[in-house]
């Protein structure tokens, strides 16, 4: 049976990108690599919609956060983190690991943070060096109000707004300068349509000034060292050469589609998914859902992870289950990156089958697919320009 991947990371990798990565490898200290890396730098600035340098790191998004923490702050600094999910909690745990004073602003999983709580934390800790928030909390599918939080931080000269955009960048319109984001982090295996292994980070002028004051020990994850090297199309240490070749191709695909079309496609697929699952009588877990992943409460009475495991074991489809506090209680359907209308129709049809097999029949057969089709009825949008030309 054909394997289908609908998890929020890793996400499917297009054939064009896989083919590019299969090319013979070249040495990273050569003009050929430098030429490709320069094009990647230009493409990343376009994708991030920023005037700042976007640094490429050979690691996951968590590695990029380590680089930011090590490069921007010193032991004893106060860092405010917004929890409310596995990844928001991770950034608070990481702050503690580096000897920072971690001030955690929490909210129930599935809900967006109240901006007033962050404002209160800033007022109680005026010495805070940063506020860290997830734009899209992958573990819950929630879109946090980072724009309003950034507005609180913007006027504070010694406080950075750090945004985890790992499942947000390339999904909707994010602009660091416009939105007041000082540090923006994302990863390769999400909307960028690449395998895991690369992370990307941009820093504002205010953030670079903070780097000058940092006293945290660092060596490999030294953003100032990377900035110096990447401005001349090199990396401080051996990069993931084949992934960078794939990055070059994935950025070309995204540029062919164009940012407005990318954002519109993600919005359309997200709305279709949400309409599909609610038509089955299911409850959305996220009260303010992101367009990257749809989280769904599993019906009462089913065994833990019945839908998630049912899809994996019977349909050869990988979505995502719940994590930590909601493990076994929710399932998550991704629609960020290399997805199209038929992917959504397929996974909804498979969910209907699995639900009926598990004894949940509180819907008419085809209800989910039918509801999603109402959103998608205007036809198909060709994401891969090469495939479109072949037709």
Check which CATH number belongs to the domain holding 28 and give it: 3.40.640.10
Contact yes or no for 138/334 (Cβ under 8 A): no
70 and 148 both lie in a single domain:
yes
Q: 355 lies in a domain?
A: yes
> Contact 104/91 with Cβ under 8 angstroms?
no
From 235, 256, 277, the end of a domain falls on 256
Domain count, the chain: 2
Q: Is 272 inside any structural domain?
A: yes
Q: What pLDDT, on a 0 to 100 scale, did the predictor assign at position 384?
A: 61
CB atoms under 10 Å from CB of 124, counted, come to: 10
272 in the same domain as 235:
no
pLDDT tens-place string over residues 321-376: 999 989 999 999 999 999 999 999 999 999 999 999 999 999 999 999 999 999 99
Asked whether 69 and 223 are in contact (CB, 8 A), the reply is no
Q: Convert the pLDDT of each residue in 81-135 to its tens digit.
A: 999 999 999 999 999 999 999 999 999 999 999 999 999 999 999 999 999 999 9
From 215, 235, 256, give the residue that closes a domain. Answer: 256
Q: Over 50: is that where the pLDDT of 391 sits? A: no
In a domain, 2, yes or no: no
Contacts of 144 (CB under 8 A, 6+ apart): 82, 84, 112, 113, 133, 134, 135, 136, 137, 288
User: What is the SS3 assignment for 58?
Assistant: coil
Q: Which of 256, 291, 307 is the last residue of a domain?
A: 256
Domain shared by 157 and 252, yes or no: yes
Vertex 374: Cα angle to 261 and 310 (nearest 5): 95
For residue 69, being part of any structural domain is answered with yes
Q: Is there a single domain that holds both residue 132 and residue 178? A: yes
In a domain, 132, yes or no: yes
Contact 88, 81 (CB under 8 A): yes
| Residue 325 DSSP one-character state | G
390: confidence class by pLDDT, cuts 50, 70, 90: very low
Per-residue pLDDT for 177 more than 70?
Answer: yes
pLDDT score of 387 more than 90: no
State the residue range of the domain holding 381. Answer: 258-390
* Judgement on whether residues 79 and 227 belong to the same structural domain of the protein: yes
Same domain, 314 and 242: no
Q: Is the distance from CB of 22 to CB of 235 less than 8 angstroms?
A: no
pTM over 0.75: yes
User: Do residue 265 and residue 250 come from a single domain?
Assistant: no
């Amino acid at each position: 049976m054909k394997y289908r991947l609908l998890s929020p990371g890793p996400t499917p990798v297009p054939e064009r990108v896989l083919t590019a990565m299969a090319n013979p490898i070249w040495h990273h200290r050569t003009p050929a690599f430098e030429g490709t890396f320069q094009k990647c730098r230009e493409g990343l600035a376009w994708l991030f919609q920023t005037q700042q340098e976007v640094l490429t790191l050979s690691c996951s998004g968590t590695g990029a956060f380590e680089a930011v923490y090590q490069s921007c702050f010193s032991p004893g600094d106060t860092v405010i983190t917004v929890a409310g999910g596995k990844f928001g909690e991770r950034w608070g745990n990481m702050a503690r690991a580096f000897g920072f004073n971690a001030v955690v602003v929490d909210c129930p999983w599935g809900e967006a943070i109240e901006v007033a709580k962050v404002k209160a934390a800033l007022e109680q800790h005026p010495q805070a060096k940063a506020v860290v928030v997830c734009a899209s909390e992958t573990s819950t599918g929630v879109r946090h109000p980072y724009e309003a939080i950034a507005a609180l931080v913007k006027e504070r000269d010694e406080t950075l707004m750090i945004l985890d955009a790992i499942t947000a960048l390339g999904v909707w319109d994010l602009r660091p300068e416009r939105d007041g984001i000082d540090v923006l982090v994302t990863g390769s295996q999400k909307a960028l349509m690449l395998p895991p292994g690369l992370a990307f980070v941009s820093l504002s002028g205010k953030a670079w000034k903070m780097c000058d004051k940092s006293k945290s020990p660092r060596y490999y994850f030294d953003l100032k060292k990377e900035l110096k090297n990447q401005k001349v199309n090199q990396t401080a240490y051996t990069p993931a050469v084949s992934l960078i070749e794939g990055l070059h191709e994935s950025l070309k695909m995204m540029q062919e589609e164009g940012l407005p079309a990318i954002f519109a496609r993600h919005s359309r697929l997200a709305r279709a998914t949400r309409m599909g699952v609610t038509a089955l009588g299911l409850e959305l877990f996220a009260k303010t859902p992101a367009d990257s992943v749809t989280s769904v409460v599993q019906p009462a009475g089913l065994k833990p992870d019945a839908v998630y495991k049912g899809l994996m074991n019977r349909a050869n489809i990988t979505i995502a289950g719940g994590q930590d506090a909601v493990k076994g209680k929710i399932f998550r359907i991704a629609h960020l990156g290399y997805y199209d209308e038929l992917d959504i129709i397929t996974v909804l049809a498979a969910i209907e089958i699995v639900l009926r097999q598990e004894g949940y029949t509180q819907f008419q057969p085809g209800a989910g697919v039918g509801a999603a089709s109402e959103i998608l009825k205007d036809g198909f949008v060709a994401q891969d320009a090469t495939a479109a030309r072949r037709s």
